[in-house]
Amino acid sequence: MFKINAELRIAIKTAGVRRLRNQEKCPAIIYYKNKKFENLPIILNNKDIQHPNSIIHFYKNNILKLNIQNKSIVQVQIKEIQYHPYRSKIIHIDFMCFKYN
């Protein structure tokens, strides 16, 4: 299982997300299957996910561990990856949570 570091995201509107992308960050969200938890917006580091041979593409159908601010570890699966229309750049990732610690 591969582990990726993430941070909580406060900027949700378009301008805030654009600022994050300019800082080489990638916005993402974690969806939970049960309604007990709210969906969790997070930020991923571009250098962890943008490399052409990135583990993100390899693990698209497998389970990953997200380490959120070195406090909690969430087991997730990639639900969708959104790409920029003409650059080969990831602009958003949707995760589905399976286990929350």
pTM comes to 0.82
Confidence class of residue 15 from pLDDT cuts 50, 70 and 90? Answer: confident
pLDDT in the model for residue 55: 57
Q: How many domains does the chain have?
A: 1
Tell me the residue range of the domain where 78 lies.
2-100
DSSP letter string, the chain: -EEEEEEE----SHHHHHHHHHTTEEEEEEEESSTTS--EEEEEEHHHH-STT-HHHHTTTSEEEEEETTTEEEEEEEEEEEE-SSSS-EEEEEEEEEEE-
CATH number at residue 36: 2.40.240.10
Q: Which residue has the higher pLDDT, 100 or 33?
A: 33
